[in-house]
Amino acid sequence: MAGGRALILLDTCTLLWLTMAPEHLSAVARKALADSTTQVWVSAVTGFEIGQKHAAGKLELPLAPAAWIERALRSHTLQVIPLEMAIALRAAALPRLHNDPFDRLLIATAQEHHLVLLTPDPKIRAYPVLKTRW
């Protein structure tokens, strides 16, 4: 927390569920996202992952990815964290508990910016020096 605000980073599936299937969010996640003192962030990496999955036919969206993400950011008052060199290097240095490059970049983003990663993924939650909630 900084200045009394909870600082949260959404993983990609959490963003998708928040926007398209909120019933899949845990009670803890719903409470954190409903709290007016929570500042919620999304990594630019999530945009890339959503775009890749949509292009591969693995993710249906009601709009093109760029328009969908813009609407999600606006609708849920989300802020974007860009991919920075420090995050990329931190992701590369993480222990090999998880091989998904998108998730590794999200883990490194949360660590680099001292954010709580809101994720249902038990592989992500196994990382040391990472605060998670679900």
Give me the residues of the chain with pLDDT under 70, please. 1-4
Question: Which spans in the chain are helix H?
Answer: 12-20, 27-34, 44-55, 65-75, 85-93, 101-113, 122-125
Q: Are strands 6-10 and 116-118 parallel, antiparallel or unpaired?
A: parallel
Q: pTM of the entire structure?
A: 0.92
pLDDT in tens, 111-128: 999 999 999 999 999 998
**Structural domains of the chain, with CATH:** 6-133 (3.40.50.1010)
pLDDT in tens, 54-69: 999 999 999 999 999 9
